[in-house]
Amino acid sequence: MKRPSTLRGPWNTTAALLILGLLLFPVYWMLNTALQPDTSIAATEWFPTSLSLSNFEAAISSQGKSLLTSLIVALGAVAVCLALAAPAAYGLAQFGLRGGRSIVFTTLITQMVPGIVIANALYSAYAELGLVNSYLGLIFADASLGLPFSIVLLRAFMVSIPGEVVEAALVDGANRFTAFVRIVLPMSRNALITAGLFTFLFAWSDFMFALTLNTTDDVRPITLGIYQFVGAHVSDWGAVMATAVLSAVPAAILLVLAQKYIAAGVSGGSIK
Amino acid sequence: MTTAVPPAGSLDPAPPSPSGSSSSSSTGVPGKNARPTLKKPRRDGHSLLRWLFVLPALLYMALFFGYPLVRNVVMSFQRYTPTTYFTGEAPFTGLDNWRAVFSNELFADSLWHTAVFTVGSLTGQFTIGLALAVFFSRRFRLSGAIRAVLLLPWLVPMVVSAVVWRRMLDQDHGILNTALQAVGLADGGVPWLSSPSVALLSAIMVNIWIGIPFNMVILYGGLQEIPRELYEAASLDGASPWRTFRSVTLPLLRPVITVVLVLGFMSTVKILDLILALTSGGPADSTQTLGTVTYQLSFLQLDFGQGAVVGNVLIVISAVFAVLYLRANRADFGTGK
């Protein structure tokens, strides 16, 4: 299977680029449609021969607020999620708590509760608590998308932090909490970034909670925005695709800037 | 010394110190260092303080996962109407919701659609993902970079992908039909999303596209862990590539394959975004699945009781696979890695 690279190298690279082109065609098509000025009804040209940013102007003027909402909600969810997950993961990794093992099991299982089931029950609870149509309500709901994942991922990392490092700080007079903040958190930087990135992506991509926990347009993330946009302006595909491009930007940026964290998260966090 | 604390379970023989025995350990900080063995990981006895690290997350999970599970079971025996949200009254009606749902033809249809959608999606994602993982295991220039970019479809919000595909699959103006017609296939254009007999297939196709990167990355990781010596041995024995794949790769990849399939199942069986944005469950309910029916009953017909019934069915199906998942994971916990 694995042969010395030199001979077959160029062919493999060519084949890989072809696969890439094929699989990423929808992404190209999204960009292509967004960049063409007149895509109302007729078929779209294969290439954007006359570039125009008018679709993006339309997208920002109608969906700009939704993009901002998504950003606020996703960042809020990351903050809530990490604030809960980091200490919990540390406790589970290093304290040898009784029943810690079953807590990790339970955490894994919660990842499997269907979102629509949560939304179903959460809606009635939110209605009673006045959390429907609120930033806080959506932030808390979205944080639940990343929490089990983050706990499992961070715990797997923190298990390998040597106990002596923390013990030394305790001997020097720090309490468990300050030792955690000053020593454990900085050591776990990479794992925290990975967990935070994925929580951000989960929250940014969330559609279900956005759809079910909001009855007005006060808190409308971009996923809900584009869904309603397609329903209302199905003829203006250029603007819809420009919105799609804008809402895919975080994924693209993160992929370029934080490639190694993403790869680590996909393989590490999902398996363990 | 103790470089890593193994999972809690394996520590159990050591005497736990539930706050009562704090007298010995809280005073003995310097003394402990003189006796470095055995009781090492449990220093100060304030286990209550230690629990404070874990408690907030536990509380949160109880509220956002535990409570909905219980509430859904209760709701499935209650009658929820739009007025419930004004009066607060949801009378218990026994098995009425369950009878109504199970005698609803749409429920049986959606069960079938869910099965077809899930099995179809998994088969496609896994086969293509595995083929790509094997292909990218060869060493060639740009392999890593191309693999990274291939992740993009998985990172883009699912609703957004669905919207893009909806445009591409348009019968009259979609690029797919334009291309097919250009090469002389499908003259009238395939009614990808507008024909009840094709729409579910289209949804599966789109979902396969979304799931390929995830399968590829995990399986690629699994392939990297197979010792190379085994392949060298196989080639010394003169095994053909196919034989090597069957006798070396597949058996050693099995744990990873199980995890990929179970995780894929869990996320596919409950999909909502993709279908709502692509077809809204239509045409003629041909793409309704358990997820969309739950949403429709609860949030469009505002019958949360009946929605809860379908949700519970979804939970039972998920629970079965959760057990499988944990079994597949057991090895990992054993080694504490």
Question: Which pLDDT tens digit goes with each residue over A96-128?
Answer: 888 888 898 888 888 888 999 999 999 989 988
| DSSP state letters, B228-283 | HHHHHHHHHTT--HHHHIIIIIHHHHHHHHHHHHHHHHHHHHT--HHHHHHTTT-S
**What string of H, E and C letters represents the secondary structure of B44-93?**
CCEHHHHHHHHHHHHHHHHHHHHHHHHHHHHHCCECCCCCHHHHCCCCEC
Question: What's the mean pLDDT when you consider all of chain B?
Answer: 83
- Binary contact (B155, A255; C-beta < 8 A): yes
Helix, coil or strand: residue A188: coil
Q: Cβ distance B2 to A93 under 8 Å?
A: no
Cα–Cα distance, B220 to B82 (Å, whole number)? 50
pTM: 0.86
Mean pLDDT of A179-184: 90
Cα–Cα distance, B66 to B232 (Å, whole number)? 51
A67 and B CB contact within 8 Å? no
Cα–Cα distance, A148 to B11 (Å, whole number)? 23
Residues of B in contact with A8 (CB under 8 A): 138, 140
The burial class, CB within 10 Å (0-12 / 13-18 / 19+), for B185 is: exposed
Maximum mean pLDDT: which of A73-87, A246-260, B183-197 = A73-87
Residues 6+ apart with CB under 8 A from B23: B45
- Quickly state the pLDDT bin for B24 (edges 50, 70, 90): very low
Distances (CA, A) of A255 to A207, A262, B54: 21, 7, 32
The burial class, CB within 10 Å (0-12 / 13-18 / 19+), for A150 is: buried
DSSP assignment letter at B284? T
Provide the β-strand partners of residue B18: B46
Question: Which pLDDT tens digit goes with each residue over A2-40?
Answer: 444 445 678 899 999 999 999 999 999 999 989 887 655
B337 and A CB contact within 8 Å? yes
* pLDDT > 60? residue B333: no
Question: Which pLDDT tens digit goes with each residue over B35-51?
Answer: 444 444 444 456 778 88
Cα–Cα distance, A11 to A24 (Å, whole number)? 20
Task: Tell whether the torsion through CA atoms of A168, A171, A172 and A175 is positive or negative.
Answer: positive
Question: Which pLDDT tens digit goes with each residue over B226-252?
Answer: 999 999 999 899 999 999 999 999 999
Mean pLDDT of B195-200: 94
Q: How many residue pairs from chains A and B have C-beta atoms closer than 8 A?
A: 351
% of residues, chain B, pLDDT over 70: 84
Cα–Cα distance, B169 to B175 (Å, whole number)? 7
Q: Cβ distance B216 to B147 under 8 Å?
A: yes
Confidence at residue B263, expressed as pLDDT on a 0 to 100 scale: 87
A49: phi then psi, degrees, rounded to nearest 5: -70, -40
Cis peptide leading into residue A250 (ω within 30°): no
The DSSP H or E segment spanning A211 is helix A208-212
* pLDDT > 90? residue B164: yes
- What are the structure tokens assigned to A179, written together? 């030792």
- What are the structure tokens assigned to B159, written together? 């609703």
* pLDDT > 50? residue A58: yes
Residues of B in contact with A227 (CB under 8 A): 159, 163, 276-277
Confidence at residue B28, expressed as pLDDT on a 0 to 100 scale: 37
Residues of B in contact with A137 (CB under 8 A): none
* pLDDT > 90? residue B202: yes
Q: Cβ distance B204 to B124 under 8 Å?
A: yes
Residues of A in contact with B47 (CB under 8 A): 95, 97-98
Residues 6+ apart with CB under 8 A from A231: none
Report the first-to-last Cα separation within chain B, whole angstroms. Answer: 17
- Quickly state the pLDDT bin for B34 (edges 50, 70, 90): very low
Chain A contacts in chain B segment 232-251 (CB below 8 A): 241, 244-245, 249
B69 and A CB contact within 8 Å? yes
Distance from CA of A19 to the nearest CA of B (A): 9
User: Which value does ipTM take for this structure?
Assistant: 0.90
